[in-house]
């Protein structure tokens, strides 16, 4: 949800304390693991991961592939080759392509973007499919 404040109030059940023996980078890598494990990712699951070129997304693709999933991802034109190198099975360049026409009947959607992407996820998952997100709704102040 983000903030620029020095302190923020949050429910304790929504956060995990970083262990002393892990770096911030190692702790951040737990984000996609926890998100994907919470929906029970398994071999041959068809999954869409939005914004694959980001830090969370780039690790998510590698973790999903390690679990044996079939990975669809969205990225911009300049990142297509890099995301392919990470192992995505189908890279969707969101500028010329509509991801909803390419990726559908999915087992899992991993939402890293929010708003319409969260709601659109329910249009492209199959019956019994799951949506997991790491972002809340965008709020205007």
Distance CA 134, CA 33 (A): 11
Residues 29-58, mean pLDDT to the nearest whole number: 88
pLDDT of residue 141: 47
Residue 127 within a domain: yes
Q: What is the CATH number of the domain that holds 109?
A: 3.40.50.720
pLDDT beyond 60 at 90: yes
Residue 3 within a domain: no
Q: What is the pTM of this model?
A: 0.81
Lowest mean pLDDT among 9-13, 46-50, 137-141: 137-141
Number of structural domains, the chain? 1
Residue 139 within a domain: no
Residue 2 within a domain: no
Tens digit of each residue's pLDDT (9 = 90 or more) over 94-110: 889 999 999 999 999 99
Q: DSSP E strands: which ranges in the chain?
A: 46-49, 70-75, 90-93, 106-111, 125-133
Domain hosting 98: range is 25-133
Q: What is the largest CA-CA distance in the chain?
A: 45
* Chain-centroid distance, C-alpha 134: 7
Distance CA 71, CA 84 (A): 10
Tens digit of each residue's pLDDT (9 = 90 or more) over 6-38: 777 777 776 777 788 888 777 777 888 989 999
The per-residue pLDDT of the chain, averaged, comes to 86
């Amino acid at each position: 949800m983000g903030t620029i404040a020095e302190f923020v109030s949050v429910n304790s059940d929504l956060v995990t304390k970083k262990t002393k023996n892990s770096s911030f980078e190692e702790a951040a890598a737990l984000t996609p693991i926890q998100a994907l494990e919470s929906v029970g990712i398994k071999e041959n699951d068809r999954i869409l991961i939005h914004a694959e070129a980001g830090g969370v997304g780039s690790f998510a693709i590698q973790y999903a592939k390690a679990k044996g999933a079939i990975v669809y991802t969205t990225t911009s034109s300049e990142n297509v080759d890099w995301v392919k190198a990470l192992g995505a099975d189908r890279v969707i360049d969101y500028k010329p392509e509509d991801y909803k026409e390419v990726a559908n009947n999915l087992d899992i959607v991993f939402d890293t973007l929010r708003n319409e992407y969260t709601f659109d996820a329910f249009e492209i998952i199959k019956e019994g499919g799951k949506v997991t997100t790491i972002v809340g709704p965008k709020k205007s102040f």
